[in-house]
Amino acid sequence: MSKGSSVIPLLILFILGGILAAAAEIPYGGWIQIPLLALVWWQLELNHSKKISFNFVSGLLFGVGYFVVGLWWLYISLHDVGGMHPLLSCAAVFLLSAYMALYFSIASLAIPLFQRSKLSGLLLAASWVITEFLRGYIFTGFPWMGLAESQINGPFAPIAPIFGGLACTFLAIWTSWELLQLRKRVTFSASILLIAIGLAQIAGLANFTKPFGEPISVRLIQGNFEQTLKFNPQAIGQQIDFYASEIKKESADLIIIPETAFPWPQNNLPSGLLNYLQDFSNVSSSNILLGLIGETSTDRGMQYTNRATGLSPNAPTYQYDKAHLVPFGEFIPPGFYWFIKAFNVPLSDFAKGNLEQAPFNILRKNQETIHAAITICYEDVFGGELASRIHNSKEPVNVLINMTNLAWFGQSQAPTQQLRLSQLRSLETGLPALRATNTGITSVLGPNGKVLQSLPEFTQASLSTQVQAYDGKTPFVTWGNFPILSISCLLLIWGLIRYRRF
């Protein structure tokens, strides 16, 4: 085999990976990705007779193309905001993409491994689910850019409330494989495709949560402050003044400002600021959520936390400390302090909060209390953790709140990617979601994950609306990922046993 004949398939797979990532950003991207995946399997299947190492490299190049296109915006945070050298910034994005691609590559080995099995499509889907789960778990996890969130605009979104996002991934992989098999077994594969898509649409008719109480009035404030200004003391003061002024402009049952909208340690905030806002809460009967930097005592002494502080009328102050931190951005893995020194950004080693923190109580005058589960930015990626929090909460959760600052990533697709993640979380839990962001996309989501209202990106504005709380638990909140992981593990065990026999 010539060198050129080896390079061309790898280049094709790299390009297909990039196209697959780009497809997620367009309307009906979840539908479009399925035939694109079929093309990927076709290319990988063409290589199945070659050495297993070549198949591994093939899957790796596909994954690198996918993640470089999907995660290029990290360059903005490293270089434009963090001041890191361009070459080092590019290398960091490439190395992270290569690490993420390893999981895709390992999952793709199911094609040559189980090529003789009649259930090869199911085994491929099972291996993909297991590796995607591990991608969200190993080294604290980084499951961003999974196929599941693309299914918000695809055929398998209705499965999410029952079996979660990983089940959507399973079905997307399986049906893309069966689409490829139409060339060999038209009737059987066409039937599989129609049945899978049809059952998914029927599943969408089920409602597991229901409206609770009267709608609440909400104000979401989007400040649109550049990330570089957060390290300028004068700009910090202007930002704090803006949000404090905006909060007092109009009362509401719930007022939310974004993650670290007060970009200063809580104990160093202007004297009397929190008391001033608490007085407004008492007088106006408004519940207020503030994004700021907290402080907590740890075994390393006093450490900062990424905190949401809640003020409710005549009630004790609430606090939620971000529990799932961003590696390198919010905590420093052992041995990587040199990297943080190159990434010239203060406050990059936070303490993490407890995974099982109580929801925020939205107190309403002479009415029911609404309970809100809070996530801060990156935490919205971890659907299993959020489902576990809701399931174990002593109080029933009625609404989701995500406080985010994506100014780190400039004018990129990062905000739309996180919006899809929030949509998937709403769909999985059957609960409406409120997204308060600095630069966008500030929005209100329905319990079916649909965007009800939103503000334009990179504008300074406030979104005032009414939001209906919901009550109840979806099967996914009750079961988590256990069913789909169990099915996937059993399929792989069966496939490996048969492989050893033959």
pLDDT in tens, 57-115: 999 999 999 999 999 999 998 888 878 889 998 999 999 999 999 999 999 999 888 87
91 vs 102: CA distance, rounded Å: 17
Enumerate domains of the chain plus CATH numbers. 3-206+481-501 (no CATH), 210-473 (3.60.110.10)
Of the candidates 230, 322, 352, 473, the residue annotated as catalytic is 322
Q: Which of 132, 178, 259, 385 is an active site residue?
A: 259
Predicted confidence (pLDDT) at residue 363 exceeds the cutoff of 80? yes
287 phi and psi angles, rounded to 5 deg: -95, 135
* Higher-pLDDT residue of 170, 46: 170
How many CB atoms are closer than 10 A to CB 9? 18
List, for residues 462-474, the tens digit of each pLDDT value.
999 999 999 999 9
Tokens of 40: 């990927």
Give the model's pLDDT for residue 418: 95
259 has catalytic annotation: yes
Q: Annotated catalytic, 45? A: no
Is pLDDT of 377 > 80?
Answer: yes
Number of DSSP helices (H) and strands (E) in the chain, helices first = 18, 15
Band of the pLDDT at 131, cuts 50, 70, 90? very high
Is 70 exceeded by the pLDDT of residue 404?
yes
Q: Which residues pair with 305 in a beta bridge?
A: 294
* Terminal-to-terminal C-alpha distance of the chain: 28
pTM: 0.92
Identity of the residue numbered 34 = I
* pLDDT for 279 beyond 80: yes
Give the residue from 241, 197, 255, 212 showing the smallest Cα distance to 401.
255
Does residue 482 register a pLDDT over 70? Answer: yes
Percent of the chain's residues with pLDDT above 70: 92
Provide the token pair at 480.
């988590």
Active site residue 489: no
Reading the block at residue 164, the tokens are 């979660």
Is residue 227's pLDDT more than 90? no
Between CA 41 and CA 167 the distance in angstroms is: 19
* DSSP structure string for 81-148: IT---HHHHHHHHHHHHHHHHHHHHHHHTHHHHTTT-TTHHHHHHHHHHHHHHHHTTGGG---TT-HH
Using CA atoms, how far apart are residues 148 and 168, in angstroms rounded to an integer? 5
Catalytic entry in 132, 168, 352, 377: 377
Q: Which residue has the higher pLDDT, 449 or 54?
A: 449
Q: Where does the pLDDT of residue 324 fall: very low under 50, low under 70, confident under 90, or very high at 90 and above? A: confident
Higher pLDDT, 380 or 231: 380
Tell me the three state secondary structure of residue 459: coil
Confidence of residue 215 (pLDDT cuts 50, 70, 90): very high
- Give the pLDDT confidence score for residue 264 in this predicted structure: 85
Spatial CA neighbour of 384 closest among 281, 253, 482, 256 = 482
The better pLDDT of the pair 276, 350 is held by 276
